Structure 1
């Protein structure tokens, strides 16, 4: 059984897998430090991921996928890590984080709205000033002095991400609009989206920790809503609106 250690969001995780592909996926995060916790994957974990995947596709009325056991194991590792991270004041969040001049901006929205497209516009607009932190599942550590966004191996279908940590300056909820505009929103306006996009553990104790962390997240960063038309001007409008 392959076993290696990875440092993700400042925590060292020992991963024991059935297949080697998991370790290829996480290779940029490898470390020799002592582990904070360990994750072991069993054939039952892979079978459960297949069952969940099939159920989701069936619910959407889509043909059932034919994911390999290796890919299902990657999801199982991600899920087991995400279940533990609330113990370390850290959330796994569904969104796209980009840093400009060392400060992070997180864009989140319903699937298909254009998070990845919008952060691509930021990379085009800012050039070398912009660095992708994570394009799908960053980790957010909630501290008394603010929120830190971390790159993770789980960086989306395009593999856009960097093994770095940046202070998170703002969270922006994306919507489609004919003209670009941005405005601050309250925690009450943002909260349902923040909760929806946070990984919610199955364990009840860790779920309660996640809810408490989501409350602190809502209070710990500035919150915005951006209506955008996916023209490069959207990057300028969004950035200047969050200064």
Structure 2
């Protein structure tokens, strides 16, 4: 039975078509790495596909709806393991991940592209649309080496910009952003895990400015970038994780135009 590694969760996914299989392939576990019991199981059914069609609308292909149904089911279960979906473009630079979030059309992908233009190959797009965030407690490294191992055909992929140790449940909280197969229209992303250094909520502007958000203002904006969970219990988990995220990672309001100056301004403010 095929199994995939998503945000370091061993995930069994069955009943999917060839397009979804290809989408997931970079995250496929080799046979010798498959555990006896998965962390998460997703069984795709006609009912789940139809449910996704009702949620997304009829203007999408069957393959797209199936892939999103898989992700939705995964995200519902992952909340129980302190892993959450967050609507953002995640970019790694100098060993930290920066999340650019906002409503559709705010310019998340465009701003991420400006980081690539400003900083060249040193800036890496982890996920251009739908990264996963995972929380770790503690200052010591766990069984993981601090590098993310990619169990796909390409072998081993290390974290760009240096090591980022996984935290064990002992001391301070750390939040990590993970690449996923669901990485936006341009399919920009990679199988990386990088510690989050800051979140910027974007607004379009003719000039560039950035300011630190107050906690309540940041929470209001962050709530708009999460999917609506099916159960009351998971909605409470989501709220708890959002609050934990904003207690751990600084959040900013970035008003910007389409320029490399916007990328440099954002980085200079958030790197502190």
Same fold (TM over 0.5): yes
Alignment partners' CA distance in 2, 1:89 and 1:50: 27
Q: Secondary structure at the match of 2:13?
A: strand
Q: 2:111 aligns with which of 114, 118, 133?
A: 118
The alignment of Structure 1 onto Structure 2 pairs a total of residues equal to 231
Q: How does 1:67-82 map to 2 (within 5 A)?
A: 67-82=60-75
The Cα offsets for residues 142-169 of structure 1, whole Å up to 9 and x where unpaired, read as: 2332211100111001000010100000
Alignment partners' CA distance in 2, 1:232 and 1:154: 26
Does 2:139 align with 1:148? no
Is residue 82–residue 199 contact of structure 1 (8 Å, CA) maintained in 2?
no
Q: How does 1:43-54 map to 2 (within 5 A)?
A: 43-54=46-57
List structure 1 runs of 4+ shifted beyond 6 angstroms: none
Q: Secondary structure at the match of 1:26?
A: helix
Q: Report the Cα offset of residue 51 of structure 1.
A: 1.8
TM-score, normalised on structure 2?
A: 0.82
Alignment partners' CA distance in 2, 1:84 and 1:173: 27
Q: How does 1:89-108 map to 2 (within 5 A)?
A: 89-108=82-101
Alignment partners' CA distance in 2, 1:70 and 1:230: 33
Q: How does 1:197-212 map to 2 (within 5 A)?
A: 197-212=225-240
Alignment partners' CA distance in 1, 2:269 and 2:227: 28
Alignment partners' CA distance in 1, 2:230 and 2:220: 19
Gaps of 5+ in 2: 138-172
Is residue 101–residue 201 contact of structure 2 (8 Å, CA) maintained in 1?
yes
Identify, as 1 or 2, the structure richer in helix.
1
Q: Report the Cα offset of residue 134 of structure 1.
A: 0.4
CA RMSD in angstroms, aligned pairs only: 1.2
Match of 1:26 in 2: 24
Alignment partners' CA distance in 2, 1:177 and 1:184: 17
Q: Report the Cα offset of residue 53 of structure 1.
A: 2.3
Q: How does 1:148-187 map to 2 (within 5 A)?
A: 148-187=176-215
Match of 1:60 in 2: none
Alignment partners' CA distance in 1, 2:103 and 2:62: 28
